[in-house]
Structure 1
Amino acid sequence: MRTHVITWKTIPAHSELWLQSHELRHSAFVDRLGYDVPSHDGIEWDQFDTPRATYIVIEHNGRCAGVCRLVPTLAPYMLKDVFPELLPYDPPAAPDIWEATRIAVDTSLPSPVRDAALRALIVGVQRFGLANGIRHFLGLMPVAIFKRTLMRHGVTVRILDTAAQPIDGITTAAGEIVVDPATVERLAPSLFLAA
């Protein structure tokens, strides 16, 4: 597994992998979950995919195995502009708070590889946060997914469930995903075992 931090400046060096990450998002959010989000020709893309976004992309055997989009809260972001009612406070605009969305792992991979890709994605996001002075990421997902994908791997998440709402019949909430070096120390060694 290799972790790539892709920005608009570095897309040309990772163009195929970056394209695959948007195809993976389409597979996850349009095909599998049926989200009504912008997509075209097998690619999912929305108004928050701007030059301010950074992408953590996990590569396995030359293919995109996982992706997460990171957006600073000083720029337009999903929880502020689309789902502000899911925050129990005013949407923040601070250099040490970013939003993490479009988290997806390739479900066609064998279970051990899929789990390793998720751990690599968590570590990649956490390392980006540590390197950039980020206190926490805001995330938006069903409460059960917060627990099954992040908290199960020891990530500290403060689920803001006082403002949770059903979306498509599923209890969905915002959460503060804490950036913590202990998370990296706990998960990073397991990546070598999975390689």
Structure 2
Amino acid sequence: MGFHKVKTIDEAESVKLNVSSKQQSNARDVPPALPSIVTRIDETIVSASNQHRYGQLYTDNLRARKAVFIDQKSWELPHTDGMEFDQYDTPQSRSVVIHEYGRVLAGVRLLPTTARCGCYSYMLRDAQLGLLPNIPEHVLYERAPVMPHVWEATRLFLTKDEPAERRLFIQTKLIKAMARAATEQGATHVIGIVPAVFQRWMNRLGLNALPMGPKLNIGGDHTQAAVMHVAGQAA
């Protein structure tokens, strides 16, 4: 038996310990594998100025909105060619779209409270001014803000038939993307009409918001106006 084939027990144990130590070190250096859902689901901020980069994503988002708000909720809203839209879908708005392999899963529209389009500004303010008959004028406790650092979120939706284990992930991704899109435009706060159980919902997402108006039934949904502080919450 040659020299190179002979190892003492101590040497063998030392080799095992070194190998084990290296394996543990390598295991610590390799980040844990992300669930496949994380790598499949993406977010995109679409506007009139960049929609040409994303193929049919903008129109698919409007079709998803129709499926939710008109087909499912039976809201009376403008639509054509299977797409839902209104007076707030202007070049001043941004649409946050969560999608998977091109299929729209969720979305929300952002509009600055300084926006103007003819006689319209933004939804909460126009409702308060009596321009939107389907939303009560007392939707807010105080006068609607018109400030460059405050944006409004509307048309927030999640498509149906998503299982529970995906819904929370998609909702969280949507709200985080909304916060990021708003802060990129200089916003510190986002206001909007949300489900009346929004505080419990926001807590589940690890975020917070405060009520801005009374609880109302709008279009069959129990809702409430709220404000979310988005600065520092987009990570």
Partner of 1:6: 46
Where do 1:120-131 residues align within 5 Å?
120-131=173-184
SS of residue in 2 equivalent to 1:57: strand
In structure 2, the residue corresponding to 1:160 is in which secondary structure?
strand
Choose the corresponding residue for 1:78, options 107, 111, 123. Answer: 123
Whether the 8 Å contact between 1:72 and 1:99 is mirrored in structure 2 is yes
Q: Output aligned runs, 1:151-166, within 5 Å.
A: 151-161=203-213, 163-166=214-217
1:56-95 Cα distance to aligned partner (Å, 9 max, x none): 1112122111111000000111111134421111111100
Deviations 1:120-155 (A, max 9, x none): 1111011123323312111113303x2454342122
Residue number in structure 2 paired with 1:92: 145
3-state SS of the aligned residue for 2:74? coil
Equivalences for residues 41-120 of structure 1 within 5 A: 41-75=81-115, 76-82=121-127, 83=135, 84-120=137-173
Offset, 1:21: 0.8
Change (3 A) 1:26 1:150: farther
Aligned pairs, how many?
182
Where does the alignment leave 5 or more consecutive residues of structure 2 unmatched?
1-40, 116-120, 128-134
**RMSD of the TM alignment (CA)?**
1.9
Q: Which amino acid aligns with 1:154?
A: G
Higher Cα Rg: structure 1 or 2? 2
Higher mean displacement: 3-12 or 83-92: 83-92
Please state how far the C-alpha of 1:6 moved relative to its aligned partner.
0.9
- From the superposition, tell whether residues 9 and 170 of structure 1 become closer, same or farther in structure 2 (CA, over 3 Å): closer
2:224 equivalent to 1:173: yes
Q: CA contact under 8 A between 2:110 and 2:182: conserved in structure 1?
A: no
Alpha-carbon spacing, 1:148–1:22, altered in 2? closer, same or farther (3 Å): farther
State how far apart, in whole Å, the 1-side matches of 2:189 and 2:155 are: 17
- Structure 1 unaligned blocks of 5 or more: 186-195
Native 8 Å contact 1:142 1:173 kept in 2: yes
Of the three residues 24, 27, 33, the one matched with 2:64 is 24
Conservation of the 8 A alpha-carbon contact between 2:187 and 2:231: no
- Percent sequence identity over aligned pairs: 29
Bigger relative contact order (CA 8 A; separation at least 6): 1
TM-score of the aligned structures, taking structure 2 as reference length? 0.71
Distance of 2:168 and 2:221 partners within structure 1: 24
